[in-house]
């Protein structure tokens, strides 16, 4: 250990568990900011293992790469380990520069790394044979990589939905039956209990490391108690926070309106508390884009700097944000870590999201500026939350909190989880769709070129998957065959778009658009993708051709000398230039030229064609419709309005389900049907039975 460093209890226990030959899977549930990342890489920093770190966003992966290199500089392991990061865009550019296919590029980058930092998407794809040719054996990539690395780290695992959890389960089962035993580490302050149950059901030996359950957090009430803890090498994880709940109406712009109306009060906090740094974390990128110029202008008059932090910004924009006094964004990347704050305003969509965002505050006593230490004089937060949530916490005889009450974090987080709206966990997905991923992997293992090599593995994998997902493979085989036959009949084409979505990690969006963002100051970062529904609701755009878009990309890459990956734009529905963000969201809906009732009555995932957009005041919708009508979309249709579906099925805030009308309801003020596409359609199917034979009643908790 570096001089003066002491391990926290959970860090030492994680290291012990990873070194224990009788343990396969370790869960570390320490609080946000308590050093889970160091715990994950301790064995690597002793020179004892090669690891793959899997992070849900590229921005988080980049942040962890920087942190890990800092650890290496402090620990100075004797083997001089190499750390490399690999995203989809970097993989494409690396392959082009080295003259390699993507599969060869992955193998090359992995062989040059003691730690490979990437995202679970790439990890999923290489185990599904996405980066190999028809001449390669299905295991060409994954068998080699699985052998080279002994530890697989999944960070921020609580953000994954059921399809991603099912994918990770399938991949872990595949690794276990085809390789010597590996170690898997999950880092999350809010772990998924269902994942632990399923792993144990599959025979994995699991270890849960929970500082809360073991009484390893203390909340001293006096200075003497705090001093005693420091003497015994306890480390302060978080400072006390003054938290104010601000109840919001259930409208899309309630928080944005409140921020506009209170901009002077927010600014005055920075004047009254010199040296403060703050963050505003919202749910909507469009709101961030509209608010940032307003606050930037107000703060600039007094020499204070406001920056944007959406997680979509480039490296220069990220570096600039670290020097800001206030950042406004949708991302928590850097907030409370490199960007040290003592002031926070935040929205949230559920209990886990609330806890994660509040956890960015109170982690540092101050920061350095121009070589001097700036000390924070306190920590303040404003939670912009729904009215009902504030009432559940503070109102009536059943109130669990009182104004001015002091509450420790563990008890507080328990109350938040109990009283905030509950989000559906889609538990039915695993039985209905998780085994489809298993079927695909099983099919690969039966490849005649490797079948003999994995003969015993094939049987063990099938048995494990059937146990974990509670579904016989013969049942899955019949469903897959039926989908393929239906698709062949309706389209005359081979393939299976439903299986493609079921075996994808995050699902593929047929509504993705290529966007040239004129509001982005850095030219190289202007090329983005955006889902069509978000474009229709929030953006002022003008249409572009694919040729114009790619020519602009090429020209900017050549002028700046910075390569720009273009593979993500290959299958975009359309291409546009973004000129700005609308002040008010525009209404729109999907339409179908026929009767939707037979599709709703089918109660199953199916493929729809000839969908259109209805938005009369939008001049460019016609061009999008010409492209959209030729798309075959995997979807699920419900004869219920979208808002009712959201409420009754307890869908997450940003769940992708939209209003749709048919020829008989095109002029209805509210579309009577709802439609979900791709992976969202698969998730909805696991819940739709709740609408069968319900007499049309609506019950809301």
Output the CA–CA distances (angstroms, integers) from residue 249 to 253, 254, 256, in the order listed. Answer: 9, 6, 11
Same domain, 257 and 137: no
The DSSP letter of residue 99 is: T
Contact 278, 336 (CB under 8 A): no
Rounded-to-5 percentages of helix, strand, coil across the chain: 45, 15, 40
Give, for 449, the enclosing helix (H) or strand (E). Answer: none
Same domain, 197 and 301: no
Same domain, 537 and 642: no
Same domain, 160 and 186: yes
Same domain, 558 and 684: no
Beta sheet of 606-608, edge-to-edge order: 606-608, 633-638, 673-677, 657-661, 589-591, 612-614
Q: Each residue of 531-568: pLDDT tens digit?
A: 999 999 999 999 999 999 999 999 999 999 888 988 88
Give the per-residue pLDDT at 691. 80
Contact 473, 438 (CB under 8 A): yes
Give the per-residue pLDDT at 356. 87
Residue 161 in domain: yes
Same domain, 555 and 627: no
Q: Each residue of 361-410: pLDDT tens digit?
A: 998 999 988 888 999 999 999 999 999 999 999 998 889 999 999 999 99
Give the per-residue pLDDT at 315. 55
151 Cβ contact partners less than 8 Å away, ≥ 6 residues apart: 18, 43, 44, 49, 50, 51, 52, 182, 183, 184, 185
Same domain, 134 and 271: no
Same domain, 383 and 363: yes
What is d(CA 240, CA 238) in angstroms, rounded to the nearest whole number?
7
What is d(CA 560, CA 91) in angstroms, rounded to the nearest whole number?
20
Q: Each residue of 152-192: pLDDT tens digit?
A: 999 988 778 899 999 999 999 999 999 878 999 999 876 67
Query: Which one of 541, 563, 581 terminates a domain?
Result: 581
212 Cβ contact partners less than 8 Å away, ≥ 6 residues apart: 29, 31, 410
Overall domain count for the chain: 4
Give the per-residue pLDDT at 5. 87
CATH number of the domain bearing residue 148: 3.40.50.300
Cα–Cα–Cα angle for 108, 111, 113, nearest 5°?
115
What is d(CA 679, CA 641) in angstroms, rounded to the nearest whole number?
20
What is d(CA 612, CA 615) in angstroms, rounded to the nearest whole number?
10
Give the per-residue pLDDT at 701. 44
Residue 531 belongs to domain spanning: 512-581
Residue 532 in domain: yes
Same domain, 185 and 246: no
Same domain, 296 and 384: yes
Quickly list DSSP for 314-365: -HHHHHHHHT-SEEEES--TTBTTTB--SEEEEE-SSHHHHHHHHTTSS--S
Query: Which one of 378, 407, 436 terminates a domain?
Result: 407
Residue 358 in domain: yes
What is d(CA 45, CA 71) in angstroms, rounded to the nearest whole number?
8
pLDDT < 50 positions in the chain: 698-701
Query: Which one of 564, 581, 598 terminates a domain?
Result: 581
What is d(CA 93, CA 628) in angstroms, rounded to the nearest whole number?
30
Bridge partners of residue 209, in order along the sequence = 28
Give the per-residue pLDDT at 176. 92
Bridge partners of residue 326, in order along the sequence = 278, 306
Residue where the block lists tokens 């144990």? 200
Structure-block tokens of residue 51: 């690891």
Same domain, 176 and 32: yes
Q: Give all strands (DSSP E) within 435-573, no chain letters.
A: 512-517, 527-531, 539-544
Contact 182, 26 (CB under 8 A): no
Output the CA–CA distances (angstroms, integers) from residue 392 to 331, 355, 404, in the order listed. Answer: 28, 17, 17
Give the per-residue pLDDT at 694. 60
Residue where the block lists tokens 């978080």? 238
Burial zone of 581 (CB within 10 Å; 0-12 exposed, 13-18 middle, 19+ buried)? middle
Structure-block tokens of residue 99: 């003259």
Q: Smallest Cα–Cα separation from 65: which of 333, 320, 316?
A: 333
Same domain, 128 and 255: no
- In this structure, what are the phi and psi dihedrals at residue 216, rounded to the nearest 5 degrees? -95, 10
Residue 517 in domain: yes
């Amino acid at each position: 250990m570096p001089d003066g460093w002491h391990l926290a209890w959970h860090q030492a226990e994680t290291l012990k568990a990873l070194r224990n030959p009788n343990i396969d899977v370790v869960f570390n549930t320490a609080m946000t900011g308590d050093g889970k990342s160091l715990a994950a890489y301790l064995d690597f920093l002793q020179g004892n293992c090669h690891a793959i770190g899997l992070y849900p966003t590229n921005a988080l992966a980049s942040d962890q790469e920087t942190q890990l290199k800092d650890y290496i500089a402090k620990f100075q392991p004797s083997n001089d380990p190499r750390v490399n990061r690999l995203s989809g865009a970097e993989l494409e550019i690396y392959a082009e520069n080295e003259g390699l296919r993507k599969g060869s590029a992955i193998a090359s980058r992995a062989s040059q790394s003691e730690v490979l930092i990437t995202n679970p998407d790439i990890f999923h794809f290489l185990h599904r044979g996405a980066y190999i040719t028809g001449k390669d054996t299905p295991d060409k990539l994954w068998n080699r990589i699985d052998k080279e690395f002994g530890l697989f780290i999944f960070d921020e695992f609580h953000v994954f939905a059921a399809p991603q959890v099912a994918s990770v389960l399938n991949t872990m089962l595949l690794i276990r039956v085809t390789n010597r035993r590996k170690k898997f580490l999950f880092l999350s302050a809010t772990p998924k209990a269902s994942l632990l149950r399923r792993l144990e059901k599959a025979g994995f030996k699991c270890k849960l490391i929970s500082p809360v359950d073991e009484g390893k957090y203390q909340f001293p009430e006096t200075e003497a108690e705090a001093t005693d803890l420091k003497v015994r090498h306890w480390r302060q994880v978080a400072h006390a926070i003054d938290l104010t709940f601000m109840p919001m109406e259930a409208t899309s712009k309630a928080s944005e309106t409140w921020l506009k109306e209170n901009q002077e009060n927010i600014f005055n906090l920075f004047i009254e508390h010199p040296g403060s740094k703050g963050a505003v974390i919202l749910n909507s990128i469009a709101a961030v884009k509209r608010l940032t110029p307003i606050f930037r202008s107000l703060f600039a008059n007094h020499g204070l700097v406001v920056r944007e932090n959406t997680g979509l910004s480039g490296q220069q924009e990220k570096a600039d944000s670290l020097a800001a006094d206030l950042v406004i964004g949708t991302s928590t990347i850097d907030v409370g870590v490199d960007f040290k704050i003592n002031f926070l305003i935040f929205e949230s969509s559920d209990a886990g999201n609330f806890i994660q965002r509040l956890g960015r505050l109170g982690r540092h006593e101050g920061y350095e500026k121009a070589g001097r230490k700036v000390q924070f004089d306190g920590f303040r937060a404003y939670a912009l939350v729904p009215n009902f949530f504030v009432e559940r916490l503070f109102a009536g005889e059943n109130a669990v909190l009182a104004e001015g009450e002091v509450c420790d974090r563990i008890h507080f987080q328990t109350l938040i989880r109990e009283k905030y709206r509950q989000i559906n966990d889609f538990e039915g997905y695993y039985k209905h769709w998780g085994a489809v991923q298993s079927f695909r992997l099983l099919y690969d293992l039966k490849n005649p070129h490797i079948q003999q090599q994995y003969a015993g593995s094939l049987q063990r994998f099938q048995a494990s998957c059937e146990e974990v997902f509670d579904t016989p493979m013969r049942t899955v085989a019949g469903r897959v065959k039926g989908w393929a036959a239906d698709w062949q009949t309706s389209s005359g084409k081979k393939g299976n778009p439903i299986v493609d979505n079921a075996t994808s990690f995050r699902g593929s969006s047929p509504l993705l658009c290529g966007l040239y963002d004129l509001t982005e100051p850095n030219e190289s970062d202007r090329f983005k993708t955006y889902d069509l529904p978000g474009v229709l609701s929030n953006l002022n755009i003008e249409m572009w051709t694919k040729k114009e878009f790619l020519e602009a990309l090429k020209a900017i890459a050549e002028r700046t000398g910075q390569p720009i990956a273009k593979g993500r734009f290959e299958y975009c529905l359309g291409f546009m230039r973004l000129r700005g963000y609308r002040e008010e969201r525009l209404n729109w809906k999907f339409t179908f030229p026929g009767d939707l009732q037979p599709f709703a009555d089918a109660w199953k995932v199916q493929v729809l064609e000839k969908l259109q957009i209805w938005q009369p005041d939008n001049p460019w919708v016609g061009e999008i419709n010409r492209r959209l009508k030729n798309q075959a979309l995997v979807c699920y249709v419900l004869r219920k309005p979208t808002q009712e579906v959201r409420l009754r099925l307890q869908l997450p805030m940003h769940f992708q389900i939209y209003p749709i009308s048919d020829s008989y309801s095109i002029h209805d003020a509210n579309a009577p049907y709802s439609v979900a596409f791709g992976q969202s359609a698969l998730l909805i199917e696991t819940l739709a039975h709740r609408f069968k034979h319900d007499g049309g009643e609506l019950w809301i908790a």
